[in-house]
Amino acid sequence: MLCIVDYGAGNLCSVELAFRRLGIPCQVSADPADLARASRIVFPGVGAAGSAMRELLSRNLADAIRQAAAEKPFLGICLGTQIILDSSEEDGGVNCLGIVPGACPRFRFPAEVRATVPHMGWNAVTRRRDHAIFTDIPQDANFYFVHSYFPQPKLASDVLADTEHGGLSFCSAISRGQLVATQFHPEKSGRFGLQLLANFAQWDGRS
């Protein structure tokens, strides 16, 4: 079964409701044994990287997540995507899970640009290559974002899609083997978001 990891970092309700709407069975769990048994993993999260990492460590979930990400289809969402990287600039600098090499800096814009932070709203997601989770979703489809920090993978080969805000192009989706991760919220992104979740539920993990 698909397992949504519950580690006290925000609201999992909408992710669960989206899978329910799609008729895809799922469980919400913070138990490492459930993660080990699950056929695929969704790793969501909103809030701050520091407290999210503290919660993961206090629940002994860090290794279970690393393990799951190495062996089964794995979908990170928003903060879940940021903390699979090595580190985040948030909360004065946080060591994260290090599943994908890279960092997570804050949006900083020159005074003349004055783009808003958080980056909040609907924005186009431009794929660099095809991927099963984008099946039946047009190139440059709009998804819903809300974040002040953005993923910056070290390897260009890990970047699946880009999005532009205030003249800055940032990585809005990561893919590496059986792991995919989106900075946007598919569960809040209308029909394309639901399509992406349905695609993930059927994906065999081969990119």
Partner 1 sequence: MLNKRVIVCLDVRNGKVTKGIKFEGNVDIGDPVEMGRAYAESGVDELVFYDITASAEGRPIDLEMVRRVAAEVFIPFSVGGGIRDENDMRAVLLAGAEKVSVNSLAVRKPQIISAGAEIYGRQCVVLGMDVRRTQDPAFPSGLQVVVKGGREPTSFDAVDWARRAEDLGAGEICVNSIDADGTKEGYDLLATRLIADAVEIPVIASGGAGTPAHLAAVLKQTRAEAALVASMVHYGTYSIPQIKQELQRHGVAVRMDW
Q: Cβ distance 147 to 125 under 8 Å?
A: no
Q: CA end-to-end span of the chain, whole Å? A: 21
Peptide bond into 138 cis (omega under 30): no
Active-site annotation holds for 78? yes
Pairing of strands 74-77, 40-43: parallel
CB of 57 to partner 1, least distance (A): 19
Check residue 135 for interaction with partner 1 (CB under 8 A): no
Task: Tell me the two tokens of residue 80.
Answer: 């879940």
Closer Cβ to partner 1, 87 or 172, answer by number:
172
- Residue 143 phi/psi, 5° resolution? -125, 160
Active-site annotation holds for 185? yes
Which positions from 72 to 111 touch partner 1 by CB under 8 A, shown as an x/- string? -------x--------------------------------
Q: Which residues contact 54 (CB under 8 A, 6 or more apart)?
A: none
Task: Tell me the two tokens of residue 195.
Answer: 């399509």
Check residue 194 for interaction with partner 1 (CB under 8 A): yes
Question: Angle, to 10 degrees, between the axis of helix 62-71 and the axis of helix 49-58?
Answer: 90
Which positions from 36 to 75 touch partner 1 by CB under 8 A, shown as an x/- string? ----------xxx---------------------------
Which positions from 169 to 188 touch partner 1 by CB under 8 A, shown as an x/- string? ----------------x-xx
Query: Which residues bind to partner 1, rule: CB under 8 A?
Result: 10-11, 13-14, 17-18, 20-21, 46-48, 79, 114-124, 138, 141-142, 144-148, 164-166, 185, 187-194
